Amino acid sequence: MKKEALEEKLNHKLRKRFGDSVRVSVEGRIIRVSGHMSRWEDIVEACSMCVVKQPGVHVVNDVVLDGVQMPSMRVPSLRDEELEGAKPDVLIIGGGISGCSIARELMKWKLGVLLVDKEADLAVQASGRNDGEVHPGVDLGRGTLKQKYVVRGNRMFDQVCEDLDVPFQRCGQYVGFTDKIVYPFIWLYAWQRKHICKVTDTQILSGKELHRREPNLNPEFQFALYNPSAGCVCPYGLTIAYGENAVSNGAKVSLNTVVLGMKVSKRRIQSVKTNRGTIYPKLVINAAGVFAEDVAEMAGDRFFSIHPRKGTNSILDKKTGSLVKGISSIKKLTHNAAHTKGGGIVHTAHDNLLVGPNAIETYEKENFATEQSSIDAVFEKQKMTSEKLSKKDIITYFTGVRPATFEEDFVIEKGRKTKNLIHCAGIQSPGLTTAPAVAVDVAEMAVHELKQSQKVEVNREFQPKRKGIPQVKNLPEEERDRLIQENPDYGVIVCRCEEISKGEILDALNSPIPVATVDGIKKRVRPGMGRCQGGFCMPLVTRIISEHQNIPVEQVRKSGENSIICYGKTKGVQ
């Protein structure tokens, strides 16, 4: 469709819905929406109405939200010259699953790679705040990048997790239906997914077989769509493992490092200003999550927009783990909006149950507050999946913010105006699943770009294997006894809920990417993840960090620089 005709069509559609408050202009492969509106939900709706299903055509949101001062990005207070003058071949912006997997993939080549993230640890935002499901891809039709990469990525997980020593379980996904009348439609859907979309494990289970496998699911389920390839992994554990393996192979990671601006000349990024000095990269990879659009703007290459979407998950006590053995949810065929769902029930890699997430549009990119209404809505829906679910079993909950584009697809391409730039943006669900496959392609794009101006050789010394910290409680008795005899710290139990030893905590503090905070240790070896949520072990972990780092207890932080645990001189913490 020609530019003028498309503009007229979209503006007509918007006027019917919103009057003259917004308008559209078409600029090549950009559909720019501008104007003023008083509700964020209306802005999202207006921009979504302008999506056209053409590859590479993106909606950019320039609509002003009246009466709202958009929150500024949180930045660390740290200021030093640690990175001043650094000249990496590749600068990766973002320490989530995308950035870390790309860094590791790039180390298969002889390249200087620097990854920066503004947080105090890896996987602090979306990559550490999701359900950990490894999706089969059955809910995605052909033609999207999501579908292309989810099928490839899912098949890579066994090898990736074996190499990185990360627990991974293929527990299967069940989508239950209570209406027998829809069976013919679901049968056709399953056939299309299996034979056309190449999600080859797709099958339909009878109600009898479903209840034999999962006896605690809704007894009214007549049949279920089943994919045995679905699984569960610890999302932040996998992200950290990717990062550690990259560092072990020569990459550098700089945390508490925020990108503040870029100098662009002759369609190339010349330098990147950070709070820790100015960097002069040959190539930049934008994997900045909810801030990917901001990075694109700095680079003079903004051709897509992110509309953040909040989702809340609840974690249940391990005693409920036997309630659901796989990943289960209910599907009702209604005309409700696609993103008002209540998620599902996930049997996690650590044998808890996770319930959620929901989906709420927000303009706040870093608002991780959890609302009671979100928990209530998720449980109301998922009690239709398993009526035995109870909010009384919740031991903790968390909220994440997903970086959705209006096209609801990934942006994986070279810069359009800026040459030495690659975008890996819009990576929301199933971004965890797609990461291994996306990383391969982005790394190939990066190497191809660098080869235009330099020689790039294969790194024949690349070591794909990473040995994780030993999980003492899971070791055979003889091996555990031997380990304790070699190092008595493995016999000192710090976290009784999760049976975590002092030796494991010290291993985390000496790991390739050590983060000497309570949450940093918690992510790596799980003290504080049990029912008491650190009520007993947090003081002990704090003391161990204090002694290891040779700092006063009051200087130990829970997570970031402002998460103070205790004030003033502290004596007698045992």
Q: Which CATH architecture has domain 472-555?
A: Orthogonal Bundle (1.10)
Task: Give the HSE-up count for residue 44: Cα atoms under 13 Å, Cβ half-sphere.
Answer: 16
H runs (alpha helix) in 86-131: 97-106
Provide the CATH number for the domain formed by 90-126+236-305+408-450 in this structure: 3.50.50.60
Letter for the amino acid at 408?
Answer: E
SS3 358: coil
> Amino acid identity, residue 233?
V
Distance between CA atoms of residues 549 and 156, nearest Å? 38
Prediction pTM value: 0.96
pLDDT tens string, the chain, 574 residues long: the values are 789 999 999 999 999 999 999 999 999 999 999 999 999 999 999 999 999 989 999 999 999 999 999 999 999 999 999 999 999 999 999 999 999 999 999 999 999 999 999 999 999 999 999 999 999 999 999 999 999 999 999 999 999 999 999 999 999 999 999 999 999 999 999 999 999 999 999 999 999 999 999 999 999 999 999 999 999 999 999 999 999 999 999 999 999 999 999 999 999 999 999 999 999 999 999 999 999 999 999 999 999 999 999 999 999 999 999 999 999 999 987 644 444 456 899 999 999 999 999 999 999 999 999 999 999 999 999 999 999 999 999 999 999 999 999 999 999 999 999 999 999 999 999 999 999 999 999 999 999 999 999 999 999 999 999 999 999 999 999 999 999 999 999 999 999 999 999 999 999 999 999 999 999 999 999 999 999 999 999 999 999 999 999 999 999 999 989 999 987 665 544 4
To the query of whether residue 423 is one of the catalytic residues in this protein, the response is no
Question: Can you read off the two tokens belonging to residue 200?
Answer: 């080859």
Mean pLDDT, the chain, rounded, equals: 96
Q: Which residue has the tokens 């990943």?
A: 327
Place of tokens 């990062």: 243
Cβ–Cβ under 8 Å, residues 88 and 114: yes
- Torsion-angle region of 327 (φ positive above 0: left; ψ -120 to 50: alpha; else: beta): beta
Token pair listed for 117: 């993230």
Spans of all domains in the chain: 3-65, 90-126+236-305+408-450, 171-225+307-404, 472-555
Catalytic residue, chosen from 12, 36, 58, 135, is 135
Angstrom distance (rounded) from CA 409 to CA 427: 8
Long-range residue pairs from 143-150, CB within 8 A, at least 24 positions apart, any chain = 143/53, 144/409, 144/410, 145/409, 145/410, 145/412, 146/408, 146/409, 146/410, 146/430, 146/434, 147/197, 149/410, 149/433, 149/434, 149/437, 149/438, 150/430, 150/433, 150/434
- State phi, psi for 526 to the nearest 5 degrees: 80, 15
> CA end-to-end span of the chain, whole Å?
71
> Pairing state of beta strands 58-65 and 500-501?
unpaired
What CATH architecture does domain 171-225+307-404 belong to? 2-Layer Sandwich (3.30)
Give the residues across from 399 on adjacent strands: 312
Q: What is the rounded CA–CA span in Å between residue 260 and residue 295?
A: 9
Q: What is the 3-state secondary structure (H, E, C) of 44-96?
A: HHHHHHCCCCCCCCEEEEEEEECCCCCCCCCCCCCCCCCCCCCCCCEEEECCC
Structure tokens at 268: 């190339």
d(CA 63, CA 293): 15
Q: How would you list the strands of the sheet with 411-414, edge to edge?
A: 252-254, 113-116, 90-93, 283-286, 421-425, 411-414
The structural architecture, per CATH, of the domain 3-65 is 2-Layer Sandwich (3.30)
Pairing of strands 90-93, 283-286: parallel
Cα torsion at 430, 435, 439, 442 (round to 10°)?
20
Question: Residue 436 in contact with residue 149, Cβ under 8 Å?
Answer: no
Residue 53, burial from CB neighbour count under 10 angstroms (0-12, 13-18, 19+) = exposed
